Amino acid sequence: MGVSSQLTVQSIVPQSSATVESITTADLYGSPCDIMMGTMKGMSVMGESMEAMTNHMCITPTRPALSADEERAKAVVDQVRAAIEKYKDYKKAIADGYTQANPTVDQPQFHFTNDANAKYADTVFDPARPTSLLYYHTAQKRFALEGVMFTTRPSASEDELNRRIPLSVVRWHKHTNFCGAPASKVKEYFGEHPKFGMFGSIHTRTACVVEGGTFFPEVFTWMIHVFPYESDFKNQFSMNDDIGHVH
């Protein structure tokens, strides 16, 4: 999960005409969301933080595999690995227009986002131009490169996502049912049992309004993380961001 300066919750206008309650079974554009989100606990591809988002995500359903799908996905990984090699030095990423999101917040994973790439990705998929670079802290490095995030516009169809990276191999996702906290309750985004935001217990418009919040049926874009340094192919498109993907 990562955002650029043009992908902030504050910049998104609430869509009051939409009714989104509890687990999302389809997005605002009619694309299906996998019902696996309702029974996600214990899935090896998910970390605890993803489980906490159960009622706040739309994930693409898995398609039947075609003979060329795995090779297509592996080709994307190879292109990504070659393109981001120089960004193991995060200063080169900054020089090329990547900006750290939320630089004052310590996080298990840091997104360095290129706004020009994000805009380009709304219509064109280029594995060499990821929207974000993903880093994490190690004892030896301030920022260790572990992967990338690709995005595209929220209205992109399931077929379009499949053309980018086969849906028999990967799961694109976007964030839904976001309750923005009123100014008097912003501390309730955090803690062991948050009430607002992507990890919050509130995931319906009704409950959000009762708490004085602002409800967003969807926030941000379609997105997917790729971890090209993983030796196991199935982990190269893992949705578990609670672990470091550099070994």
Q: Provide the pLDDT for residue 150.
A: 97
Q: Provide the pLDDT for residue 107.
A: 79
Res. 36: pLDDT tops 90:
no
Between these two residues, 74 and 46, which has the higher pLDDT value? 74
Q: What is the mean pLDDT of residues 217-232?
A: 92
Question: In which band, very low, low, confident or very high, does the pLDDT at 240 lie, cut at 50, 70 and 90?
Answer: low
Question: In which band, very low, low, confident or very high, does the pLDDT at 247 lie, cut at 50, 70 and 90?
Answer: very low
Q: Are 20 and 217 in contact (CB under 8 A)?
A: yes
Q: Provide the pLDDT for residue 38.
A: 45
CA distance 98 to 87: 10
Q: Provide the pLDDT for residue 18.
A: 38
Q: Provide the pLDDT for residue 52.
A: 66
Task: With CA atoms as reference, report the closest residue to 228 among 172, 149, 131.
Answer: 149
pLDDT in tens, 206-221: 999 999 999 998 888 9
CA distance 233 to 247: 14
Q: What is the mean pLDDT of residues 135-141?
A: 88
pLDDT in tens, 102-130: 888 787 889 999 999 999 999 999 999 99
The region of weakest confidence among 51-65, 153-167, 176-190, 202-216 is 51-65
Strands 110-113 vs 132-136: parallel, antiparallel or unpaired = antiparallel
CA distance 46 to 52: 10
Radius of gyration (C-alpha) of the chain in whole angstroms: 18
* Whole-prediction pTM: 0.79
CA distance 184 to 166: 44
Q: What are the tokens at 43?
A: 């899935």
pLDDT in tens, 9-21: 333 333 333 343 4
Q: Are 132 and 112 in contact (CB under 8 A)?
A: yes
Between these two residues, 51 and 60, which has the higher pLDDT value? 60
Q: How far apart are the first and last CA of the chain?
A: 21
Question: In which band, very low, low, confident or very high, does the pLDDT at 232 lie, cut at 50, 70 and 90?
Answer: very high
